[in-house]
Structure 1
Amino acid sequence: MGKPKLVIIGNGMAPGRMLEHLFEKDRDAYDVTIFNAEPRVNYNRLMLSPVLSGEKTYEDIITHDENWYAEHSVTLHKAARITQIDRTAKTVSSDTGITAGYDKLVVATGSSPFIIPLPGKDLEGVLAYRDLEDVEKMLTAAERGGRAVVIGGGLLGLEAAAGLKMRGMDVTVLHLMPTLMERQLDPAAGFLLEEEFKRRGIEVRTKANSHEIVDDGTGKVTAIRLDDGTEIAASIVVMAVGIRPSADLAKAAGLETGRGVLVADDMRTSDPDIFALGECVEHRGQCYGLVAPLYDMAQVLADNLLGGALNYTGSVTATKLKVTGVDLYSAGDFAEGPDRSEIVLRDASAGVYKRLVIKDDRIIGAVLYGETSDGPWFFDLLKKGTDVSGMRETLIFGQAYQGGAPLDPTAAVAALPDDAEICGCNGVCKGTIVTAIRDRGLTTLDDVRAHTKASASCGTCTGLVEQLMQVTLGDAYNPAAVTPMCGCTHLGHDDVRRLIKSKQLKTIPAVMQELEWTSSGGCAKCRPALNYYLVSDWPDEYADDYQSRFINERVHANIQKDGTYSVVPRMWGGMTSSTELRAIADVVDKFNIPAVKCTGGQRIDMLGISKEDLPAVWADLGKAGFVSGQAYAKGLRTVKTCVGSDWCRFGTQDSTGLGIKLEKFMWGSWTPAKLKLAVSGCPRNCAEATCKDIGIICVDSGYEIHYAGAAGLEIKGTEVLCQVATEDEVIEHVAALTQMYREQGRYLERIYKWAKRIGLDEIKRQIAGDPARRKAYYDRFVFSQKFAQVDPWSERVSGKDKHEFKPLAVVSMEAAE
């Protein structure tokens, strides 16, 4: 007799978390089949706002990739919407013609956005904001520019407005109520939030009742008209006014429904073999749209599917706004009333507002704006109904001021109970993080993110996670991930990269202004790093600033200890010709170059050239067809090869030809640190591919791709990424791996150090195991190459989107110093 069949309708965050709990307890309890109406795997919907703003990509927010379903033997039907539940036959049927039987069924159909029945609601350009498809439509609209009108000043509406503004659109928010987010904020905090959005250039109109969406005559949006007659031009109109549980399928099947699918405390519906979970559920008269209750339900359901007896009794919820730079936290009931009192702290100069609502000596509501670090502590007191009468005088100042002398932040987080929620996005409590740190030997923030998901989404809980690591590890804590990138800022490299994207910062002065650099012009450590990050993030918009590069990159040659320079022409894959060799010999004779050296990268290095001779040396080499070998670059330097199958009796593939293809495809791309490749024609490894940043070993059946080697101050063999069958697959994997490194690496961080920090398994999962994500990285690399540096030795205008690259001769030598 086979395993019982568990069928799940819906593939959102709640059923995903439920399956994690289920597999944790009994991996083989059920034969699991999932029907997902969306054409993709499970992703974190809370992170749609960072995707919209540009801070993250779709690939960054995937919760369970294709490998996860395969590893857990889950059958996933994508783009297959269930249209019928037959409770008598115990089957479900999809609009794609699939019928599947079940022993147990989970209905997790989520919710649907509410569309205001305005005239014009069906026009092209009227969008909802609920899933990735909605985000993709908004991104397409943002590329065209114009004005976005967002109807709804709640959580989703404001996140949509901030994201569209970051994408370059003009934005107006229309909100019916007098203040923003009135369900989560009191009027004072709502006012502060409105002022912040106005400072960001977003127009906010409260008490604004929409009357009609105006047609441009061709079926597209052109404006929106309010009840008072005001007309606002609009390229798109985004409705973000609320959600409704998607209960129609359950209702049609005869299950009991109200606003949502009615469930008991064990998450069963009116049919004992059918459960419901998530935003489609109504439990004890409540429907929930926030993630914490859905995760609580998921744990209960997983337990009951395995014969347990857990009960779900309801949830108290807390809210955070996922807009970079806006710190806001709200929990519980903050309405005024005769049976309650309040404690308020206002600091107008610092932009801080805190309000606690007290009833019967217990916190029943909390609103924090501008400074939210005590949010989890207040929330824990609220959930547990803790008597706060003994700390009334100091309560508003937070946990650090309780019990006498002020606690430092790490002592405060140490005092939190194990069930205190640290990461709201992923529902991770303190005990889970501490257990993972101790049991798995985690010592870095990236380790904790990888194993627990805490701080891996919006990042607002990062400070708490770091404090928790400090408490748990003591002297063993490795704070490298939060070391400031230089003395001009308190921010680390990762935060700077994140904020450059999220705030759409596209010049060095913009970065220094917006991120509050303490030095007006930066320093020798931060300027090259910022220049690289901007080149990497905005390849089509940012103009590379050579004055922010190191001297070698500024003069396109390596400075030597006596002040002279060495020049290295590029020899593709280490191959050359008599014509090229004669040209080099002529240059050596003409300029009396004192030393000529064969390098380890299979090229010829001319050493001892004076600075004033550099432009003429480049000119002569350029006439012979040479381009710069970029031996000075934080970028691709060499692709070392052996002679391969064309000449060697042991060669299995054309290693030289593949090396040349890789070098010509990838040269000119900047990377966080120097990048060296090699292709060996057989496992004898004459090209030393197993100590390079990226290496290829040719074998009888194809190509083995290696990465993360080192042969300098640190000696390290490579890691095997995967094996592929064709040269095209090699190029795609290598380019995707390089792009992942470009996007995530810290400036001057070699690829082996980056791989150790990110995690070898994570890199293999994204590049070798996820074709869609690999293709996305590859496409971004190809796009950036349109604007990559062409030959800096020759004065010409590139065909690469008309970007002009001038030789150093155009720049004064004094400036180059």
Structure 2
Amino acid sequence: MAPQKLVVIGTGMASGRLLEHLFEIAPGAYEVTLFNAEPRGCYNRIMLSPVLSGEKSFQEIVTHDEAWYEDHGVTCRFGERVTAVDRDRKVVVGEKGEVAYDKLVIATGSAPFIIPVPGKDLKGVVAYRDLEDTNAMIEAAGNPGSRAVVIGGGLLGLEAAAGLRLRGMEVTVLHLMGHLMERQLDASAGHLLKQDLERRGIEVMLQASTQEITGTGKVEAVKLADGTELKADIVVMAVGIRPETTVAKAAGLEVGRGMVVNAQMESVSDPDIYGLGECVEFDGAVFGLVAPLYDQAKVLAKTLAGEADAFTVRQLSTKLKVTGCDLFSAGDFNDGEGRQDIVFRDPARGVYKRLVIENDRLIGAVFYGDTADSNWFFGLIQTGEDISANRDTLIFGPAYQGGASVDPLAAVAALPDEAEICGCNGVCKGQIVTAIENGASDLAAVRAVTKASGSCGTCTGLVEQVLAVTLGDEFSMPAEQPMCGCTDLTHEDVRRLIKGQELKSMPAVWQAGAWKTPDGCHSCRPALNFYLLADWPVEYKDDPQSRFINERKHANIQKDGTFSVMPRMWGGITTPDELRAIADAADKYKVPTVKVTGGQRIDLLGIKGEDLPAIWADLNAAGMVSGHAYSKGLRTVKTCVGTDHCRFGTQDSTGLGIKLEKALWGSWTPHKVKLAVSGCPRNCAEATCKDVGVICVDSGYQIGVGGAAGMDLKETERLADAKTEEEAIELAIAFIQLYRENARYLDRPYKWLGKVGLPWVKARVVDDLAERRRLVDAFLLSQTIYQKDPWAEHVREQAERYAPIADITLEAAE
């Protein structure tokens, strides 16, 4: 039987999943033509946020590449809009011609809602729906000092704000309602989210009504109804979406809020036309989350294959990760007569949990900051079982029902088979267990069979725990991934190999580690270069060509190909002579932007590559050295004025900061390292969120380590108390050397601490005085070799040697 002609309009995640199911259950049944207005195929739109923030590249979120479409015989009409559907002739009319169909799927998704205010059509006003929007935001963020206004405090708006902030923009979020994400969170959780965003440097304005967007040809400001005016270089509209029904309406199909379909996803107007995804309406409802869209895709695939199935609207939970904050909500958490709340708050950890109970049934839940047991609670909401017997301990989760348990897998073992594990794909525990019993013995195999953990990835840990519970001793939690495709060894294996066999060159490591490539790659070479340098500073010679481009150019490359120059200012202290030298350099080299940084330094942005040797010659002559703002090493030591000027200062925080910076500068570390010294517990230098932070108190110095203030916000953990400056400096150096000797390349100290534990570090840095001395001596030995300004020695020769950029192969890894 000849295959039928299937035309699909739209390459979103729903239609992509439809084709996967269809090719699996009915291979060869259809010749597929795929239209898309975007010039590309299916990609994971959920993951656009990491692309915006720079954590992922677009290629990493592509779901179906050219090879996939070719393997399945799909004719791709990408970058071509559909202008009409002629139902009488059964043809789809595209911008480049007609295509006949036997069956047609309309999966046109949704369109962003643009609030109808003056200026909405100005250049620089974007939505946040596709790659073009994302690229527009990335381009705007590439301009130093640029500002963004995000209209909408829902999920998309907050993800846009977080990504733009990570790219260095000043960001303000405007939200019309009284708290953020009001559809998913109650007021208390929304308040915690607002606090977290503000700690990350994102301004949030609630009950803010946009009146006008102003500018001449391009957006310049946003005016609010109360008269407030906010400067803006880009405005992101993220206030909601509406089903995109233009094609369906033009074809004469019944359209309400969306294109109306039945339970088999057939249009109620035409049995040969089907609807799928955000553009459809079923039983009066429209859909925006990926889970029901995947359910629709599965049903439609069976319908097209001639199998019976029906789409049903199931209760959904929302488990999201916004700017590093864990959020979960499910059911009905609104106030109502006869309802009772159980609330748990831990302000210090930023944890909030609220359960809503009615007639001894759990009907709603909102969690913020700790969502580990959310699937178990969601199961209780779905089943509606009586919880009266466990009411007193319910808020503490499944491990505490019937007596506290110390087994970390007890909660997973307690989940019933119907408990949903993967919300995106609607996969329950029983399905995963069945897959495991049928031979799926690792995460990849379970994902291939069930698709669990294959979308947003937040359930990956839970899937692994189901594997552990089901297989018992036959399963071990996944080993660390190899450091790259060149080897089967992990980073930790390589570090042990270098130390254990005293390997002192890359070729020696490649031979001993059975490398699959002759010279490594852009991923392993920088890591190997650091490991060898850290372990054998005398015997091993640093290989500049195995460093990232910024480290090889000794300057931060900018989006337009220019560079930034940042002289070091010890502890944030400068002099009139230094300021004059910086001003003279800015004038002489026509520096377009001079920026005061958060690390108490001055950044000269927009320097031409050919001017780098000369500008640094001038700065070196004025006694200034590189601030290493480009390096995997010490960046800054931030200080307050301490006892020199502040009436609250307890110690000389500025002096200690300068001593620490002069001791530590120029050191190579697994990732960048930032320090701070605050002169009193008021913490003006923000020492409690640095890699190493010192708080001065009357009795001496409190040393904290492992803080973070990026996408992850983490307070330092107390390493030790020191009575003298000398002891404080020694503890800081010993900690950094232990980090240098043991951490995985590109792990910040807080991530490394999370793996080894603070007690392990304390035992070596604080308790073992001999080991502390060894660590300090090892660090100082390395410093005698590598503590030097890269521009002060043979600067012009270095510039000539490393001038070409075209032959550099490491940019993509930076």
TM-score by length of 1: 0.60
Q: Which residue of 2 aligns with 1:151?
A: 151
Is residue 277 of structure 1 aligned with residue 262 of structure 2? no
**Which amino acid counterpart does residue 140 of structure 2 have in structure 1?**
A
The structural deviation recorded for 1:2 is 1.4
Contact 1:546 1:554 in 2 (8 A): no
Q: Which residue of 2 aligns with 1:365?
A: 364
Q: Which residue of 1 aligns with 2:236?
A: 238
Moved more, 33-42 or 306-315: 306-315
Gaps of 5+ in 2: 484-489, 493-521, 544-667, 671-742, 747-789, 806-814
Q: Which residue of 2 aligns with 1:664?
A: none
**Which amino acid counterpart does residue 339 of structure 2 have in structure 1?**
R
Is residue 78 of structure 1 aligned with residue 63 of structure 2? no
Aligned length: 527
Is residue 550 of structure 1 aligned with residue 551 of structure 2? no
Q: Which residue of 1 aligns with 2:103?
A: 104
Output the CA distance in 1 between the equivalents of 2:525 and 2:238.
Answer: 30
**Which amino acid counterpart does residue 108 of structure 1 have in structure 2?**
A
Output the CA distance in 1 between the equivalents of 2:37 and 2:186.
Answer: 38
Output the CA distance in 2 between the equivalents of 1:794 and 1:452.
Answer: 58
Residues 568-617 of structure 1: CA distance to partner in whole angstroms, max 9, x if unpaired?
xxxxxxxxxxxxxxxxxxxxxxxxxxxxxxxxxxxxxxxxxxxxxxxxxx
Residues 300-346 of structure 1: CA distance to partner in whole angstroms, max 9, x if unpaired?
11122222222212132222333352111111221111143222111
Output the CA distance in 1 between the equivalents of 2:523 and 2:538.
Answer: 16
Q: Which residue of 2 aligns with 1:253?
A: 251
Output the CA distance in 1 between the equivalents of 2:361 and 2:524.
Answer: 49
TM-score by length of 2: 0.60
Contact 2:90 2:102 in 1 (8 A): yes
The structural deviation recorded for 1:224 is 0.8
The root-mean-square deviation of aligned C-alpha atoms, in Å, is: 3.5
Matched position secondary structure for 1:364 = strand
Output the CA distance in 1 between the equivalents of 2:113 and 2:542.
Answer: 62
Contact 1:268 1:275 in 2 (8 A): yes
Distance change >3 Å, CA 209–CA 246, structure 1 → 2: same
The structural deviation recorded for 1:419 is 4.2
Gaps of 5+ in 1: 486-491, 495-534, 559-669, 673-744, 749-788, 805-817
Q: Which residue of 1 aligns with 2:797?
A: 796
Q: Which residue of 2 aligns with 1:693?
A: none
Distance change >3 Å, CA 793–CA 415, structure 1 → 2: farther
Distance change >3 Å, CA 493–CA 454, structure 1 → 2: farther
Matched position secondary structure for 1:412 = helix
The structural deviation recorded for 1:476 is 2.7
**Which amino acid counterpart does residue 303 of structure 1 have in structure 2?**
K
Distance change >3 Å, CA 437–CA 166, structure 1 → 2: farther
Q: Which residue of 1 aligns with 2:160?
A: 160
Output the CA distance in 2 between the equivalents of 1:229 and 1:76.
Answer: 50
The structural deviation recorded for 1:800 is 6.6
The structural deviation recorded for 1:410 is 1.5
Q: Which residue of 1 aligns with 2:310?
A: 311
The structural deviation recorded for 1:439 is 3.8
Output the CA distance in 2 between the equivalents of 1:477 and 1:83.
Answer: 54
Output the CA distance in 1 between the equivalents of 2:360 and 2:406.
Answer: 23
Contact 1:49 1:322 in 2 (8 A): no
Q: Which residue of 1 aligns with 2:602?
A: none
The structural deviation recorded for 1:453 is 4.9
Contact 1:8 1:107 in 2 (8 A): yes
Q: Which residue of 2 aligns with 1:722?
A: none
Q: Which residue of 2 aligns with 1:132?
A: 131
Output the CA distance in 1 between the equivalents of 2:407 and 2:180.
Answer: 34
The structural deviation recorded for 1:436 is 4.2
Q: Which residue of 2 aligns with 1:411?
A: 410
The structural deviation recorded for 1:550 is 2.8
Matched position secondary structure for 1:144 = coil
Q: Aligned runs of 1:618-767 on 2, under 5 Å?
A: none
Q: Which residue of 2 aligns with 1:301?
A: 300
Q: Which residue of 2 aligns with 1:188?
A: 188
Q: Which residue of 2 aligns with 1:92?
A: 92
Contact 2:345 2:353 in 1 (8 A): yes
Output the CA distance in 1 between the equivalents of 2:385 and 2:239.
Answer: 35
Matched position secondary structure for 1:301 = helix
Contact 1:357 1:365 in 2 (8 A): yes
The structural deviation recorded for 1:5 is 1.7
Distance change >3 Å, CA 385–CA 34, structure 1 → 2: farther
Q: Which residue of 2 aligns with 1:262?
A: 260
The structural deviation recorded for 1:225 is 1.0
Matched position secondary structure for 1:178 = coil
Output the CA distance in 2 between the equivalents of 1:479 and 1:222.
Answer: 52
Distance change >3 Å, CA 440–CA 55, structure 1 → 2: farther
Contact 1:291 1:427 in 2 (8 A): no
Q: Which residue of 2 aligns with 1:653?
A: none
Distance change >3 Å, CA 554–CA 325, structure 1 → 2: farther
Is residue 228 of structure 1 aligned with residue 226 of structure 2? yes
Contact 2:533 2:542 in 1 (8 A): no
Q: Aligned runs of 1:577-588 on 2, under 5 Å?
A: none
Distance change >3 Å, CA 75–CA 403, structure 1 → 2: farther
**Which amino acid counterpart does residue 367 of structure 1 have in structure 2?**
V
Output the CA distance in 1 between the equivalents of 2:30 and 2:457.
Answer: 35
Q: Aligned runs of 1:352-751 on 2, under 5 Å?
A: 352-406=351-405, 408-443=407-442, 445=443, 448=446, 453-455=451-453, 457-481=455-479, 549-551=534-536, 555-556=540-541
Output the CA distance in 1 between the equivalents of 2:419 and 2:15.
Answer: 23
**Which amino acid counterpart does residue 335 of structure 1 have in structure 2?**
N
Matched position secondary structure for 1:180 = coil
Output the CA distance in 1 between the equivalents of 2:406 and 2:430.
Answer: 21
Distance change >3 Å, CA 481–CA 457, structure 1 → 2: farther
The structural deviation recorded for 1:358 is 2.3
**Which amino acid counterpart does residue 52 of structure 2 have in structure 1?**
L
Output the CA distance in 2 between the equivalents of 1:458 and 1:556.
Answer: 43
The structural deviation recorded for 1:411 is 2.5
Distance change >3 Å, CA 23–CA 440, structure 1 → 2: farther
The structural deviation recorded for 1:272 is 1.3
Output the CA distance in 2 between the equivalents of 1:66 and 1:269.
Answer: 30
**Which amino acid counterpart does residue 395 of structure 1 have in structure 2?**
L
Q: Which residue of 2 aligns with 1:45?
A: 45
Moved more, 276-285 or 25-34: 25-34
Q: Which residue of 1 aligns with 2:716?
A: none
The structural deviation recorded for 1:428 is 4.0
Output the CA distance in 2 between the equivalents of 1:553 and 1:177.
Answer: 61
Matched position secondary structure for 2:88 = coil
The structural deviation recorded for 1:240 is 0.2
Contact 1:53 1:166 in 2 (8 A): yes
Matched position secondary structure for 1:158 = helix
Distance change >3 Å, CA 546–CA 356, structure 1 → 2: closer
Output the CA distance in 2 between the equivalents of 1:99 and 1:44.
Answer: 29
The structural deviation recorded for 1:555 is 3.8
Residues 220-252 of structure 1: CA distance to partner in whole angstroms, max 9, x if unpaired?
111111111111111100000000000121111
The structural deviation recorded for 1:478 is 3.2
Output the CA distance in 2 between the equivalents of 1:9 and 1:22.
Answer: 16
Distance change >3 Å, CA 282–CA 153, structure 1 → 2: same
Matched position secondary structure for 2:21 = helix
Output the CA distance in 2 between the equivalents of 1:116 and 1:441.
Answer: 49
Matched position secondary structure for 2:473 = helix
Matched position secondary structure for 1:327 = strand
Matched position secondary structure for 1:221 = coil
Output the CA distance in 1 between the equivalents of 2:309 and 2:531.
Answer: 63
Output the CA distance in 2 between the equivalents of 1:272 and 1:195.
Answer: 52
Output the CA distance in 2 between the equivalents of 1:87 and 1:282.
Answer: 20
The structural deviation recorded for 1:796 is 2.9
Distance change >3 Å, CA 332–CA 266, structure 1 → 2: same
Contact 1:322 1:458 in 2 (8 A): no
Distance change >3 Å, CA 483–CA 266, structure 1 → 2: closer
**Which amino acid counterpart does residue 203 of structure 1 have in structure 2?**
E
**Which amino acid counterpart does residue 295 of structure 1 have in structure 2?**
Y
**Which amino acid counterpart does residue 65 of structure 1 have in structure 2?**
D
Output the CA distance in 2 between the equivalents of 1:546 and 1:387.
Answer: 57
Q: Aligned runs of 1:5-44 on 2, under 5 Å?
A: 5-44=5-44
The structural deviation recorded for 1:20 is 1.9
